[in-house]
């Protein structure tokens, strides 16, 4: 008699369409809030610098550098959050991890809108702001791993790239929403009103958004309790269909609490020592161009245009909106295309496009004689190039890690890349431009990181998009 071989709890194709859509929406909404908040912090960096980081006699550039230092510090806590919440999601299930991070993220962001400024409480103000930024970094680090795991594990066959692309698309929507709120406030409020209380409004708006996200995530199917291990000498039994999508089920445990299977479509063997660490490092290399170019053109650009080129706040925000529109327009098509021709082809094309065009596009933006529509088109094109990397990126990362370490592994790769190449982008660009007077630094930074990222992406297998998740 043939002994049955344990298989996956449920193959990905068996995930009900309603569960797949629910996982897609619940996974996306937290990313929207996260990037809305990070966007508004970047867009209002000059205002925040004046309110929290510029003591009497301090220069505007000094305050901006300190504001970006706080910005970067939050990113360096992302890997901690990715490790803590990722392990929790891999062992206890995706849903409880996603619920926890959205509560932490919403509370910390709303509290920023209530903080007293430097003028009210002195040196305690920037420290309190930095503490809340750290809490945001911890929650954001846990958000990506859980959300992308759910979205890709529940994706129908042949649509993993498209489902994962929704994570990046909601990043674009969050940045656009933050820019739209900033533009509206800058248009309807006077400069003194914006400096006095108007900057608080975007942060307080995250409270109702977070409540919506919490409700959606609580409506995800309940995670399965850990299944008892079969007797040591008994033949393995076939596992009946699970009542919830495998992306939401925690791993079974053997005595002693050691994970037996993964929280995804299949458990698979335990990764060899060092295998996950090597995959994380490679993932960072594949992502660094996406991280650096994305923050350069989509978040840091408003402050660069104001502080370096003397652009008005409204025009700087308008340029950023155009870049984010290009980003949003290319993400979903890029994810879908990667399901057909592979992640490697699409992502390498995006990295090489930015590496080749970053400086020429920036020179066009810097040219005072260039028509406005040409500058807008340049920023739109820069955003679209980033979208070619961001669309297939989540699925590419999910395919690098087995189910039992997927939350932790892809979360760490994403968090480390963002900590080094995104979180530091504003600080590096602002400080280097101030010290050297070289206004080409943003373009050089984006081009160099995308060139390295293209080389790392070439190591992808051409058929990864057609293989089942491990």
CB atoms within 10 A of CB 28: 23
> Which tokens belong to 71?
């910005």
Higher pLDDT, 111 or 266: 111
| Structure confidence at residue 331 (pLDDT) | 93
pLDDT band at 272 (very low <50, low <70, confident <90, very high): low
Between CA 213 and CA 101 the distance in angstroms is 11
| Structure confidence at residue 32 (pLDDT) | 87
| Dihedral angle, C-alpha 45, 102, 339, 17, nearest 10 ° | -150
pLDDT band at 183 (very low <50, low <70, confident <90, very high): confident
| Structure confidence at residue 456 (pLDDT) | 93
- Asked if pLDDT for residue 239 goes beyond 80, the answer is no
Tell me the whole-structure pTM to 2 decimals. 0.72
Lowest average pLDDT, out of 178-192, 229-243, 451-465, goes to: 229-243
Can you say whether the dihedral through the CA atoms of 3, 7, 11, 16 is positive or negative? positive
Q: Provide, rounded to the nearest whole percent, the portion of the chain with pLDDT above 90.
A: 13
Enumerate the domain spans of the chain: 13-219+273-463
CATH architecture of the region 13-219+273-463: Up-down Bundle (1.20)
Higher pLDDT, 378 or 220: 378
CA triple 49-50-54, angle to 5 deg: 85
Between CA 98 and CA 79 the distance in angstroms is 16
- Asked if pLDDT for residue 184 goes beyond 90, the answer is no
Between CA 84 and CA 88 the distance in angstroms is 6
Alpha-helical regions (H) of 342-440: 343-366, 372-390, 393-398, 406-421, 425-436
Lowest average pLDDT, out of 6-20, 23-37, 173-187, 321-335, goes to: 6-20
- Asked if pLDDT for residue 367 goes beyond 70, the answer is yes
CB atoms within 10 A of CB 310: 9
Lowest average pLDDT, out of 114-118, 208-212, 318-322, 348-352, goes to: 318-322
CA triple 386-205-73, angle to 5 deg: 55
pLDDT in tens, 241-259: 444 444 444 444 433 333 4
> Which tokens belong to 138?
């911890």
- Asked if pLDDT for residue 457 goes beyond 80, the answer is yes
Q: Helix or strand or coil: residue 80? A: helix
| Structure confidence at residue 377 (pLDDT) | 87
For residue 163, which of 346, 289, 23 has the smallest C-alpha distance? 23
Q: Provide, rounded to the nearest whole percent, the portion of the chain with pLDDT above 70.
A: 78
Q: DSSP strand E in 112-221: where?
A: none
Higher pLDDT, 453 or 56: 453
Contact between 58 and 114 under an 8 Å Cβ cutoff? The reply is no
Contact between 342 and 400 under an 8 Å Cβ cutoff? The reply is no
Please, which residues have CB within 8 angstroms of residue 253's CB and are 6 or more apart in sequence?
A: 226, 227, 229, 259, 260
Please, which residues have CB within 8 angstroms of residue 281's CB and are 6 or more apart in sequence?
A: none
Q: At what angle do helices 275-295 and 441-457 cross, to 10 degrees?
A: 150
Strands 258-259 and 253-254: antiparallel
Average model confidence (pLDDT) across the chain: 77
**Cβ-based burial of 25 (10 A; exposed 0-12, middle 13-18, buried ≥19):** middle
């Amino acid at each position: 008699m043939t002994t049955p071989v344990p298989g996956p709890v449920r193959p990905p194709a068996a995930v009900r369409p309603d569960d797949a859509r629910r996982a897609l929406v619940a996974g996306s909404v937290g990313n929207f809030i996260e990037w809305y908040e990070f966007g508004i912090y970047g867009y209002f960096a000059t205002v925040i610098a004046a309110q929290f980081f510029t003591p009497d006699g301090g220069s505007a550039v000094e305050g901006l550098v300190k504001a970006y230092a706080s910005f970067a510090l939050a990113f360096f806590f992302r890997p901690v959050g990715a490790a803590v919440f990722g392990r929790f999601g891999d062992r206890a299930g995706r849903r409880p991890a996603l619920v926890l991070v959205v509560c932490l993220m919403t509370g910390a962001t709303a509290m920023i809108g209530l903080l007293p400024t430097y003028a009210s409480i002195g040196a305690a103000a920037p420290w309190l702001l930095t503490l809340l930024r750290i809490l945001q970094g911890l929650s954001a680090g846990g958000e990506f791993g859980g959300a992308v795991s759910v979205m890709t594990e529940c994706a129908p066959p042949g649509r993993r790239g498209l489902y994962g692309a929704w994570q990046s698309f909601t990043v674009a929507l969050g940045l656009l929403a933050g820019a739209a709120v900033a533009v509206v406030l800058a248009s309807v409020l006077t400069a003194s009103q914006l400096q006095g209380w108007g900057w608080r409004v975007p942060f307080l708006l995250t409270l109702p958004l977070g409540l919506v996200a919490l409700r959606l995530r609580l409506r995800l199917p309940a995670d399965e309790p850990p299944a008892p291990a079969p007797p040591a000498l008994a033949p393995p039994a076939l596992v009946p269909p699970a009542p919830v999508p495998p992306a939401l089920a925690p791993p079974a445990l053997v005595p002693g609490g050691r994970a037996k299977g993964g929280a995804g479509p299949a458990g698979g063997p335990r990764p060899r020592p060092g295998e996950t660490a090597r995959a994380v490092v490679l993932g960072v290399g594949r992502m660094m161009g996406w991280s650096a170019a994305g923050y350069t053109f989509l978040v840091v650009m408003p402050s660069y245009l104001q502080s370096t080129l003397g652009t008005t706040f409204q025009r700087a925000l308008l340029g950023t909106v155009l870049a984010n529109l290009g980003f949003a327009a290319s993400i979903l098509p890029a994810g879908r295309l990667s399901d057909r021709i592979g992640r490697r082809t699409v992502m390498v094309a995006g990295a090489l496009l930015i590496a080749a065009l970053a400086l020429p596009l920036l020179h066009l933006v810097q040219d005072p004689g260039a028509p406005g529509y040409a500058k807008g088109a340049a920023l739109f094109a820069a955003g679209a190039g980033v979208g070619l990397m961001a669309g297939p990126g989540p699925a590419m990362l999910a395919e690098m890690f087995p189910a039992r370490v997927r939350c932790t592994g892809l979360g760490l790769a994403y968090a480390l890349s963002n900590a080094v190449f995104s979180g530091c982008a504003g600080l590096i660009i602002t400080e280097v431009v101030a010290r050297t007077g070289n206004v080409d630094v943003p373009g050089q930074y984006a081009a160099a990181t995308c060139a390295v990222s293209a080389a790392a992406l070439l190591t992808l297998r051409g058929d990864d998009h057609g293989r089942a998740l491990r």
